[in-house]
Structure 1
């Protein structure tokens, strides 16, 4: 399965549209692009494999594998990139400004279900991040 994240960059945050094989899944929010600096920048554009991950903080969520110079880049719920993200990607139901969104948990549950079902079928899940 291939997911495509198409980004629009703003000084205060990055907004995106996540599609799966041409079908809209959800919008996304991220930190602004600041040269891939840890904890303050979104990640570089590129191709990343996705996998399941568990943590006490986020429970079951989605991790991007082999992000250059970064660790633990995740898809997890958040509605304000500047206040709640440190390089991760948050799915949102609706965008409300640069790096801001609404109803992230609802969007995350839908995305996680889609990705986990593919992984359970032993499919690889590829994320392509582009502008």
Structure 2
């Protein structure tokens, strides 16, 4: 299973759309790209293995593995990237502004309902992060 996150970058934050098999799962918000600086930047584009994780704060959530120069990059609920994220990715139901969204817990539940059962079967799940420009260019040739 490969999820694909197509991003658009802005100085104030990063917006994304998260797809599986070409179908929209949810939107995403992240911090802006600041050269992969820990706690203040979104993660680099690339292909990452996902792992289920549990913590008191987020309960069951998703962990991106092997992010270069980073650790504990998570997919977890948040509605404001600047106020609530430290380099992680937050699923949201709708974008409400740059780096902002709403109904994050609802989007997070939709995402984890899809991903966590697959991971529980020890089936690999990966997240491919790309620029939305790449996505929209590819759609022009369909």
TM-score range, shorter chain: over 0.9
Q: Tell me by how many angstroms 1:119 deviates.
A: 1.2
Matches within 5 A, 1:66-105: 66-105=66-105
TM-score by length of 2: 0.91
Partner of 2:119: 119
Deviations, residues 47-91 of structure 1 (Å, cap 9, x unaligned): 000010011111111000000000000000000000000000000
Q: Tell me by how many angstroms 1:125 deviates.
A: 0.3
Q: Tell me by how many angstroms 1:120 deviates.
A: 2.3
Output the aligned Cα RMSD: 0.6
Distance 1:119 1:78 in 2: 23
Deviations, residues 101-128 of structure 1 (Å, cap 9, x unaligned): 0000000011011001211233100100
Distance 2:2 2:127 in 1: 6
Instruction: Please tell me whether residue 10 in structure 1 is matched to residue 19 in structure 2.
Output: no
Larger radius of gyration: 2
Distance 1:117 1:21 in 2: 17
SS at match of 1:43: coil
Instruction: Please tell me whether residue 108 in structure 1 is matched to residue 108 in structure 2.
Output: yes
TM-score by length of 1: 0.98
Could you tell me which runs of 5 or more consecutive residues in structure 1 were left unpaired when the two chains were aligned.
none
After TM superposition, what 4+ stretches of structure 1 lie above 4 angstroms from structure 2?
A: none
Could you tell me which runs of 5 or more consecutive residues in structure 2 were left unpaired when the two chains were aligned.
132-142
